[in-house]
Amino acid sequence: MTRVYLDYNATAPLRPEALEAVTRAYALGGNPSSIHAAGRAARALVEQARTEIAALIGGPASTVVFTSGGTEANALAVDSAVATGSKRLIVSAIEHDSVLETAKASGASVEILPVNAEGLADLAWLAERLSRWDAADGRPFVALMLANNETGVIQPVREASEIVRAAEGWLHVDAIQAAGKIPTDSRALGADTLSTSAHKLGGPQGVGALTFGPRATLVRRQHGGGQERGRRAGTENVPGIAGFGAAAMAALRDLNDQAPMRDAAAERLKALGAVVIAETSPRLPNTLCVATPGHTSDLQVMKLDLAGFMVSAGSACSSGKVKASHVLSAMGLGELADCAIRVSGGWGTTENDWAAFVDAWSEIRHAARRAPAA
């Protein structure tokens, strides 16, 4: 069976450029903190990648801190805000669990920034809430992701940053799904901290980065050596970092526009009775969240997998858990949330892949209608 991978938002397949960079780094060896030749060569790879990640997400290379992934990058931002005096956090209702759960576990109070039915943050709510901020709660901290991992909805981050800055707050932007898919610049967005992850754009798993601006103070979460300029202890993952940099450069050279293929697939699905989630909102060009009334998400995912198509029923970090998507629930979709799947393409996805997926989905849909009632 020919299998078609349409779950890039969970993990993008490793780009050839990244594989080559990882392989070279493993062959090189050396600890980047060592001062001998092998160590200096390893350090050069890390610093080259730091420059490449800075080019991907904006800001000076000196402000890029490498982490073990997007989860740690998000946690570093949240915990740093709390450590420097933020006692109340505002987190959007559609944030990734790595932000939501870290905020809840931080010891600070947490408020949820609502979204509308199309998945866009309610900036009027945010402005009103910050206008009556209690100084006893410390500096306001707001987390608003750039693009949602389930729906692909691109958030009004620049507008939010102006509201947060007027309140002298700290804006954290999770750009993990956006970087490498749409132009991403932390400075233009007004982000005080911005996170990204290698494996979402075709780099290796297990490496991410956080960039920070002059209004953010990072407080390291793990202690030991003075790596990453004292902001993140532990020997750097040189092969992973090198692969991350190579993937970033490949993504910048080719922001693969999947939107025409995605939209053509969406029109066919709608004609067959599907509901496209957040259709009128700006979305990542590679992402399609679609619901089929009367057909549960997990059943669709299983049947499509048997037909050779790999999609998901939401965030990969929630796989195997029988629970409703907090993102779709926050949008007020009700029972429709239990019938939604996410289809996401990327650097290796073709027009034929999208078309074949719709063909398979259509056949599954017709087979379900032909099946005798239980």
Catalytic option among 41, 93, 123, 317: 317
Task: Report the alpha-carbon distance of residue 113 to residue 121 in Å, rounded.
Answer: 7
CA of 34: how far to CAs of 38, 211, 223, 227, in Å?
Answer: 8, 25, 19, 11
Q: Please, which residues have CB within 8 angstroms of residue 72's CB and are 6 or more apart in sequence?
A: 208, 221
Closest by CA position to 71, among listed 103, 110, 48, 119? 103
Tokens 């429709």 -> residue: 336
Is 339 considered catalytic here? no
Task: Report the alpha-carbon distance of residue 192 to residue 66 in Å, rounded.
Answer: 16
CB 344 within 8 A of CB 39: no
Amino acid at 71: T
Amino acid at 308: G
Q: Pinpoint the alpha helices (H) of the chain.
A: 16-28, 37-57, 70-83, 97-105, 123-131, 157-166, 186-189, 238-253, 259-271, 297-306, 326-330, 351-370
With 0-12 / 13-18 / 19 or more C-beta atoms within 10 angstroms meaning exposed / middle / buried, residue 362 is: middle
- The structure tokens listed for 159 are 């507008």
- The distance of Cα 197 from the centroid of its chain, to the nearest Å, equals 7
| Catalytic sites, residue numbers | 317
